[in-house]
Amino acid sequence: MSDMTYGDYLRLDRILDAQEPRSGAHDELLFIVIHQASELWMKLCLHELEGAREALKADDLDPAFKMMSRVSRVQAQLIQSWEVLSTMTPADYSAVRPHLGTSSGFQSAQYRLIEYILGNKNPKMTAVHEGRDTDYARLREAEKLPSLYDEALRVLDRRGISIPDSHLERDFTKPYEASDAVEAAWMEVYRNPKDRWDLYELAEKLVDLQYHFQLWRFGHLKTVERVIGYKTGTGGTPGVPYLESVVAKTFFPELLTLRTKL
């Protein structure tokens, strides 16, 4: 163990040999590194979000707050990565695109797992990964589990702020649906933040996650728009119109709607 080097510990031989440009274009290395680095950051996001969900399940809120804050900071790194990728011009990308085949960020299993743990379940998106056994199994399992928000609502209910049974024990494979009763429960927290400070902080940590996730989506949209315009995506999606359709989607709707009524 004493003779372990920096490169040994980080497995840099494997990481730095994992870039295999196919086009000969100068900017292909940029394209590969940005996406590989993003997958590493997403791996960390999943690690932290899963840990935060377990902490909420155990009513251990302080560690959950730390993990959720870390994810928000990682999301800032992911958002910044679009700034770097946007230095690719349309001509630069055109030299790379023919070598991508049908590969697409749409096929990122880790991105989908993040959406699932935040509550946006969609079996059609799981089906995209049929044939990739490990990814498909992870997504099928993730469909069945409560989301981070589901566990947050259970915390409220255990603290004496009633949540309807329809939102405590539901079919977790389905996308979350907003509820007036859940909004009223969060409203009780927001109207008395000093009396329920940890629950108030929980709500704001969730809002922070959603805020950064939407910025990440928006950065993706604007980068694609800047680099390829309105071309169809390599994975067969409509490209920019598809990205526009998902930017406004929210994970924790009541935490936004209650702000209008406060």
Written as six digits, the tokens of 235 are: 């994975």
Contact in structure between 251 and 119 (CB atoms under 8 Å):
yes
Q: Is 117 annotated as a binding residue?
A: no
Q: Is 218 annotated as a binding residue?
A: no
Q: Is 93 annotated as a binding residue?
A: yes
Instruction: Give the pLDDT confidence of 199-219 residue by residue, as tens digits.
Output: 999 999 999 999 999 999 999
Q: What percent of the chain has pLDDT above 70?
A: 97
Q: Is 35 annotated as a binding residue?
A: yes
Identify the band that residue 1 occupies on the pLDDT scale cut at 50, 70 and 90: low
Q: Is 223 annotated as a binding residue?
A: no
Q: Is 234 annotated as a binding residue?
A: yes
Instruction: Give the pLDDT confidence of 109-133 residue by residue, as tens digits.
Output: 999 999 999 999 988 889 989 989 8
Name the pTM for this structure. 0.93
Burial of 171 (0-12, 13-18, 19+ CB in 10 A): exposed
pLDDT of residue 230: 79
pLDDT of residue 236: 65
- pLDDT(248) > 90: no
Instruction: Give the pLDDT confidence of 178-198 residue by residue, as tens digits.
Output: 999 999 999 999 999 999 999
What are the chain's domains? 25-260 (1.20.58.480)
- CB under 8 Å to 85, separation ≥6 — which residues? 30, 31, 34, 223, 227
Identify the band that residue 242 occupies on the pLDDT scale cut at 50, 70 and 90: confident
Check residues 13 and 124 and name the one with the higher pLDDT: 13
Q: Is 34 annotated as a binding residue?
A: yes
Contact in structure between 51 and 67 (CB atoms under 8 Å):
yes
Q: In whole angstroms, give the CA distance from residue 60 to residue 206.
A: 16
Q: Is 33 annotated as a binding residue?
A: yes
